[in-house]
Structure 1
Amino acid sequence: MERRTDRVMPPRYLASVNKVIVGLHRLGVPLPMQALTVPGRKSGVLRSTPVTPYEVDGRRYVVAGYAKSDWAKNARAAGRGELTRGRHRERVRLVALPVEERGRILREFPARVPRGVTMFLKAGTVANASPEAFAAAADRCAVFRIEPLD
């Protein structure tokens, strides 16, 4: 049975967990995830969220499991940001992919970011952990190509 919701919502605990992860990055603790910081689309205030970039065909991508999340909207509006892992910082351009290009990148997500699959399953973004289920979620996930600015 293919499960799909029109309004995919993150789990309630996610905001608290994200704050802890971003705080650890600010302290310089290297983690498997990175922190992506982008300016708010309305306020311009810098906002950070944990992300796990992954590579497909030599290019890096990051996925928002909730396409309408604030960080995805801010990244789309700004088109740029900063990735941080521990004390290492990288200024990047964030290029939002159109829906028709997302499936190929999303298909790789379960193999390349297995720790992130559970979030997609719990939210109902995907029906199962198969590459096909992730590719089918292209209209429900924002995908950004990461290009270095430095």
Structure 2
Amino acid sequence: MTTLPGWLRPANRLIRLLTRAGLPLGTIHVLTVPGRRSGAPRATPVSPLTVGGHRYVIAGLPESDWARNVRAAGRGELARGRRRQPVTLTEVTDPGLRREVVRAFPREVPHGVPMFVKLGIVTKADPDEFAAAADRVAVFRIAPVAG
């Protein structure tokens, strides 16, 4: 398993705090899902992107706790600033759609590219390189819960 940078946990805590305070931070949202074992809410910063009219989120480490929790729960809450929205999350298994979504990441979420580089998934913000890495990441489709 890839080792995450030591600064990531404190940075994620800060982002969650700023979001709770109502400050929107670019494309960053906080995704909260029930823990797969405890059922307790687990929050992580994510940057959704829109492709073909649908929203998606990418887990650079497909076996990370948050990705595993999303698979187990299939639902959560997406927050940006003080705005919260219940959502369902479905893993994208179609290889063509996965490539299309991952290819769009450097254009839609340019500030997220350095994390993918640090994780060794890509070497630069090249859409073709991102598309080639689509089999090594997890992609989830986000849909609002009908109210």
Partner of 1:11: 5
Identity of aligned residues (%): 53
Give the secondary-structure state (helix, strand or coil) at the position aligned to 2:134.
coil
Larger RCO (CA under 8 A, 6+ residues apart): 1
Paired positions, count? 144
- CA gap 1:94/1:10 in 2 versus in 1, 3 angstroms: same
Provide the C-alpha distance between the structure 2 equivalents of 1:130 and 1:30, rounded to a whole number of angstroms. Answer: 27
Provide the C-alpha distance between the structure 2 equivalents of 1:114 and 1:82, rounded to a whole number of angstroms. Answer: 24
1:20 aligns with 2:14: yes
Partner of 1:67: 62
- The answer to which of 74-83 and 19-28 deviates more is 19-28
Alignment root-mean-square deviation, CA: 1.2
Provide the C-alpha distance between the structure 1 equivalents of 2:24 and 2:122, rounded to a whole number of angstroms. Answer: 29
Q: How high is the TM-score relative to the length of structure 2?
A: 0.93
Per-residue CA shift, 1:32-71, capped at 9, x if unaligned? 2110000000110101011111110110011111111111
User: What displacement does 1:99 show?
Assistant: 5.9
| Structure 2, unpaired ranges of 5+ | none
Give the secondary-structure state (helix, strand or coil) at the position aligned to 1:74.
helix
Partner of 1:139: 135
Provide the C-alpha distance between the structure 2 equivalents of 1:9 and 1:59, rounded to a whole number of angstroms. Answer: 31
- The answer to which of 82-91 and 126-135 deviates more is 126-135
Provide the C-alpha distance between the structure 1 equivalents of 2:121 and 2:3, rounded to a whole number of angstroms. Answer: 9
Letter in 1 for 2:111: R
- The answer to which of 11-20 and 110-119 deviates more is 11-20
